[in-house]
């Protein structure tokens, strides 16, 4: 088990309310675990039951951590192969205190160039969808009032779908962003984000327009704006508008 897997497992234990873990004497040593730049937390203590040296546990996502701290922890990330072709890490944009967070799949070429999510054609459509739908529904909302990020923070080569291991490694940062912001609702854009957030395997067509959960936070699934850009997807566009309306009314009343 590598350091990130161990950290995720410990976070899972913490969510279950388990505050202490014990290391079996003679078990695998913690030596060699990479040091992590995030502030260490003592929320789960290790109790070493024998003369074995203390275990250097990777830090857990500290309660109350800020997006800035997460960004610092990401640093000049080389944790997965996606770093090889990236220009800029695309962390997220918008209001850190927003009650609504949009999650896409991963940066495209424009995003990789600028370091900002959803700034290309799909991003312009997303902005229109958010602002026009809100306006029509009598909700005063600009793109900058919500928070927008992706499952993976570096552009997959040729805009391919991120691989499961890339999503697992990078997904920990999305997990921490969502924990830090704790929005009232999340809107998953497309199948990759929907599956990453809900753990389900269905395609987006089956999941869209329905509420799921990420921890205690409701997740509305809708189509990815790139899909809606295709001219033959006009029905999907109408459906996406309906999905967004549901999310906006749930969050902003
Ligand atoms: N597609 C995504 O999923 N995210 C972006 O940031 C841009 C395009």
Residues 106-132 pLDDT 10s: 999 999 999 999 999 999 999 999 999
Beta bridge mates, 21: 46
Q: What value does the mean pLDDT take over residues 209-230?
A: 98
Say if CB 95 and CB 145 are below 8 A apart: yes
Whether ligand 1 lies within 6 angstroms of the CB of 162 is answered as no
Is the pLDDT score of 136 beyond 60? yes
Two tokens, residue 242: 């309906």
- Rg, C-alpha atoms of the chain: 19
Helices (H) and strands (E) in the chain — how many of each? 9, 8
pLDDT band, residue 13 (cuts 50/70/90): low
Q: pLDDT value at position 31?
A: 29
More confident site: 140 or 35: 140
Q: What value does the mean pLDDT take over residues 11-34?
A: 50
Is the pLDDT score of 152 beyond 70? yes
- Tell me the residue length of the chain: 253
Residue found by looking up tokens 């990815």 in the block = 224
pLDDT band, residue 30 (cuts 50/70/90): very low
Whether ligand 1 lies within 6 angstroms of the CB of 192 is answered as no
Is the pLDDT score of 37 beyond 50? no
Q: Map residue 220 onto helix, strand or coil.
A: strand
Cα(108) to centroid of ligand 1, in Å? 6
Whether ligand 1 lies within 6 angstroms of the CB of 11 is answered as no
DSSP-derived pairing of the beta strands 45-48 and 93-94? unpaired
Cα(83) to centroid of ligand 1, in Å? 16
Is the pLDDT score of 141 beyond 70? yes
Nearest atom in ligand 1 to the alpha carbon of residue 117 is 6
- Report d(CA 124, CA 105) in Å as an integer: 16
pLDDT band, residue 23 (cuts 50/70/90): low
Is the pLDDT score of 39 beyond 50? no
Q: pLDDT value at position 9?
A: 73
Q: Report the range of poorest mean pLDDT among 60-64, 143-147, 246-250.
A: 60-64
Is the pLDDT score of 47 beyond 50? no
Q: pLDDT value at position 22?
A: 61
How many other C-beta atoms are found inside a 10 Å radius of the C-beta of residue 30? 18
**Considering the entire predicted model, what is its pTM?**
0.79
pLDDT band, residue 48 (cuts 50/70/90): very low
Is the pLDDT score of 139 beyond 80? yes
Mutational test site, ligand 1, from 123, 155, 167, 188, max ligand atoms within 8 Å of CB: 123
pLDDT band, residue 10 (cuts 50/70/90): confident
- Report d(CA 66, CA 101) in Å as an integer: 15
Whether ligand 1 lies within 6 angstroms of the CB of 123 is answered as yes
Q: pLDDT value at position 220?
A: 98
- Report d(CA 55, CA 10) in Å as an integer: 13
Say if CB 221 and CB 247 are below 8 A apart: no
Question: Is 106 buried (19+), middle (13-18) or exposed (0-12) by CB count in 10 A?
Answer: buried
Whether ligand 1 lies within 6 angstroms of the CB of 104 is answered as yes
Two tokens, residue 164: 């499961």
Say if CB 59 and CB 82 are below 8 A apart: no
Q: What value does the mean pLDDT take over residues 64-89?
A: 97
How many other C-beta atoms are found inside a 10 Å radius of the C-beta of residue 76? 6
Q: What value does the mean pLDDT take over residues 27-53?
A: 36
Is the pLDDT score of 32 beyond 50? no
* 8-state DSSP, 63: T
């Amino acid at each position: 088990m590598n350091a990130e897997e161990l950290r995720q497992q410990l976070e899972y234990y913490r969510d279950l309310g388990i505050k202490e873990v014990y290391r079996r004497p003679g078990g695998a040593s913690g030596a060699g675990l990479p040091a992590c730049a995030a502030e260490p937390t003592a929320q789960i203590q290790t109790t070493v039951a024998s003369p074995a040296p203390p275990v250097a546990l990777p830090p857990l996502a500290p309660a109350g951590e800020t997006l800035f701290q997460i960004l610092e922890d990401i640093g000049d990330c080389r944790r997965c192969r996606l770093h090889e072709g990236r220009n800029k890490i695309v962390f997220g944009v918008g209001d850190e205190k927003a009650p609504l967070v949009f999650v896409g799949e991963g940066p495209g070429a424009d995003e990789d160039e600028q370091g900002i999510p959803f700034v290309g054609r799909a991003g312009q459509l997303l902005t229109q969808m958010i602002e026009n739908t809100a306006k029509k529904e009598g909700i005063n909302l600009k793109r900058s009032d919500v928070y927008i990020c992706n499952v993976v923070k570096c552009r997959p080569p040729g805009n391919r779908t991120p691989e499961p291991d890339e999503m697992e490694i990078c997904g920990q940062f999305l997990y921490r962003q969502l924990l830090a912001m704790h929005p009232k609702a999340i809107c998953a854009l497309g199948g990759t984000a929907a599956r990453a957030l809900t753990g389900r395997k269905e395609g987006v067509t089956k999941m869209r327009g329905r509420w799921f959960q990420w921890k205690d936070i409701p997740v509305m699934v809708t189509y990815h704006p790139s899909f809606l850009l295709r001219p033959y997807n006009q029905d999907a566009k109408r459906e996406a508008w309906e999905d967004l309306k549901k999310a906006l009314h749930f969050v902003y009343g």
